[in-house]
Amino acid sequence: MHRFILLFVLVFPLFVNAQVTTRYNIIQRPTENSVTIAWRTVNPEVGTLMYGDDPFSLVNVASNPTATTKHFFDVSGLTSDSKYFYQTSTDAGFLSAIDSFYTAKPDSLSDITFLHYGDCGYNNTIQNDIAALMLTEQADFGVVAGDIDQGVGDDYENIFFGVYKDILKQSCHYTCIGNHDIIADNGATYKDAFYLPTNNPTSTEEYYSFTWGNAKFVCLNSNADYTVGSPQYDWMLDEFKCNDRQWLYVFFHHPPWTNAWDALYYVPFQPYYLYEGNEDMRTDLVPAFESYGVDFVLNGHSHCYQRGEYNGVHYIISGGAGATTLDFNTNSNAPNIQNELYINQYVKFNIKGDTCYYVCKDETGAIVDSVGTVKPFVPIRPELSFDGTTITSTVGDSYEWYLDGVQITGATSQTFVPTQSGVYEVITTNQYGCQFESDPLTINVAGLADLTFENLSVYPNPFSDQITIAGSLGIELNAELEISVYNTLGQQVASDVVSTNGSVYTTINLAHTRTGIYVVELVSNDVRSVYRISKH
Ligand SMILES: [Fe+2]
């Protein structure tokens, strides 16, 4: 009898969870400082979210006093590229496990990994096998190229949220809407199921953009009007013109070209019978991709993998994350396709600075294609550097300088010589009228006049992995020397405090920094000196 009671106590909480939850926790639309966390219950209940940066102390608590089956909490005030832990509960006894997620990386951090897949399947074996593989990738986020529900767009709990629940509780998979997603009710269920960004004039979830690290992603709805002059097209152009990231991606469901379509396959969406791509995309969207520096176009719809490059734009179709009706070559000859594999698969991207590398993996996890491409870094947002006398901005079409948030009258050139201490920023404007703001740079002018430590050297310059600071301080014995190294964004990348006996010999490890200009600041006993160094 005791054994029975113990067993009941152990099993009961699981039983409660299984009964009240139709969708486990999901991470949606994370930015550098915000996130949306959602889950759903069978019955209307009062939901509570607890979160924090310590899994043993979830100090932040938010509750929605209105009982609902659709629980979601918009959380703000977070720190970029940071891990947060969270737990959800309801007043009916549901208590989730403690899950975790990362906020988006800022532009200055360039090592990002993400997945691209589409046409997910029907909660079938292949879809679940590929889901298990994708979970092991531990990607920052995913990009899902439509036909999220391979049926008629009314069963996301079973076909998407259930299959990918272990992925979605820790990372956001950004979806775009496919033709299957609008069959049942023109996408109403799709838009109800997801909590997507709405950063467009009509606040629709059908198209949006987001950034992660040094990459920007623009999502389109290829079921809706995207032709030149349409609201969606005009919004897309503005996103391209004002892009401030190194890598620019566009993702949507239907591809402009595909080599794959079975002519005998029933396709109930005229004129896409004998489908070889959306012809009007080639006249309306592709010229914009080529003119405004789009690097990658990610699609689904064709149940296969195809990739290639055309006029400087990379095109990838990844439409086999679970779809069982694989397409095959119909003797099309799309100019943007150089490799095509008619298999179930997904794509994993990794961006590290100037290099984007992607692999296609089949349903066993084997790499069946891999491509690397390099894009030299050209700053779009202004970056400031300070040589001890002059602040210099990277190139823009025009400049407005600010000190402590107040515009400096007449300061409109690429350089500015500070005469007072404070926080300096510059706003540049590009040829389309888009404005880009630099990160703030703190300048301390007070010490600039007597800035030199006699016989103190910072070397080598240029350096590769570390610098050495050595020589005599020329000041009293037993002083401490504070060492700070800043990048051109004004961000501290290394620091140390060393004791001296009037002379110093120490090294600073800078192996983790990228190539570029750095400023070394040395401070001791009210004497401050800055050294401009570069990393090759
Ligand atoms: Fe489709």
pLDDT computed for residue 143 by the predictor: 98
CA of 491 to the centre of ligand 1 (A): 45
Give the residues across from 533 on adjacent strands.
Answer: 518
CA of 275 to the centre of ligand 1 (A): 11
CATH: 3.40.50.2300, 3.40.50.410, 1.10.10.60, 2.60.40.2550. Which one for 450-535? 2.60.40.2550
> Cα–Cα distance between 275 and 271 in angstroms, integer?
8
Q: What is the pLDDT of residues 439-490, one digit of tens each?
A: 888 887 764 444 456 677 888 888 888 999 988 776 665 678 889 998 766 6
pLDDT computed for residue 84 by the predictor: 98
Q: Cis peptide leading into 335, omega within 30 of 0?
A: no
Structure token pair of residue 215: 């990459």
Under 8 Å CB-to-CB from 345, ≥6 apart: which residues? 117, 130, 305, 318, 320, 321, 360, 361, 362, 363, 368
Give the residues across from 115 on adjacent strands.
Answer: 142, 348
CA of 301 to the centre of ligand 1 (A): 4
Residue with tokens 């360039």: 110
CATH topology of domain 1-104: Immunoglobulin-like (2.60.40)
CA of 272 to the centre of ligand 1 (A): 10
CA of 363 to the centre of ligand 1 (A): 20
Structure token pair of residue 450: 């007597």
Whether the Cβ atoms of residue 327 and residue 125 lie closer than 8 Å to each other: no
Q: What is the 3-class SS of 306-359, one letter each residue? A: EEEEECCEEEEEECCCCCCCCCCECCCCCCCCCEEECCCEEEEEEEECCEEEEE
pLDDT computed for residue 503 by the predictor: 81
Q: Is 444 exposed, middle or buried (0-12, 13-18, 19+ CB in 10 A)?
A: middle
pLDDT computed for residue 267 by the predictor: 52
CA of 111 to the centre of ligand 1 (A): 31
CA of 391 to the centre of ligand 1 (A): 52
Distance linking the first and last C-alpha atoms of the chain: 74
Q: Is the pLDDT of residue 91 over 80?
A: yes
Q: Is the pLDDT of residue 295 over 90?
A: yes
Phi, psi (rounded to 5 degrees) for 101: -155, 165
Q: What is the pLDDT of residues 209-261, one digit of tens each?
A: 999 999 999 999 999 999 999 999 999 999 999 999 999 999 999 999 999 87
pLDDT tier for residue 274 given thresholds of 50, 70 and 90? low
CA of 457 to the centre of ligand 1 (A): 64
> Cα–Cα distance between 58 and 56 in angstroms, integer?
6
Q: Is the pLDDT of residue 4 over 60?
A: no
Q: Cis peptide leading into 271, omega within 30 of 0?
A: yes
CA of 516 to the centre of ligand 1 (A): 45
Q: Is the pLDDT of residue 173 over 90?
A: yes
Q: 188 or 521: which carries more pLDDT confidence?
A: 188
CA of 319 to the centre of ligand 1 (A): 8
Whether the Cβ atoms of residue 127 and residue 155 lie closer than 8 Å to each other: no
Q: 377 or 516: which carries more pLDDT confidence?
A: 377
CA of 300 to the centre of ligand 1 (A): 7
The architecture that CATH gives domain 111-374 is 4-Layer Sandwich (3.60)
CA of 247 to the centre of ligand 1 (A): 26
Structure token pair of residue 97: 């496990």
Eight-class DSSP state of 389: S
Whether the Cβ atoms of residue 139 and residue 350 lie closer than 8 Å to each other: no
pLDDT computed for residue 268 by the predictor: 52
Domain locations in the chain as residue ranges: 1-104, 111-374, 384-443, 450-535
CA of 148 to the centre of ligand 1 (A): 9
CA of 243 to the centre of ligand 1 (A): 28
DSSP state letters, 229-294: TSHHHHHHHHHHHT--SSEEEEE-SS-S--SB--TTS---STT-TT----HHHHHHTHHHHHHTT-
> Cα–Cα distance between 402 and 423 in angstroms, integer?
8
Residue with tokens 């789009």: 294
CA of 236 to the centre of ligand 1 (A): 22
Q: 416 or 277: which carries more pLDDT confidence?
A: 416
Strands 398-403 and 441-443 come out as unpaired
Q: What is the pTM of this model?
A: 0.79
CA of 316 to the centre of ligand 1 (A): 15
Domains 111-374 and 450-535 share a fold: no
Least confident of 58-72, 271-285, 317-331: 271-285
Structure token pair of residue 27: 């991470």
> Cα–Cα distance between 448 and 453 in angstroms, integer?
12
CA of 181 to the centre of ligand 1 (A): 9
Strands 398-403 and 391-393 come out as unpaired
Structure token pair of residue 470: 């050595």
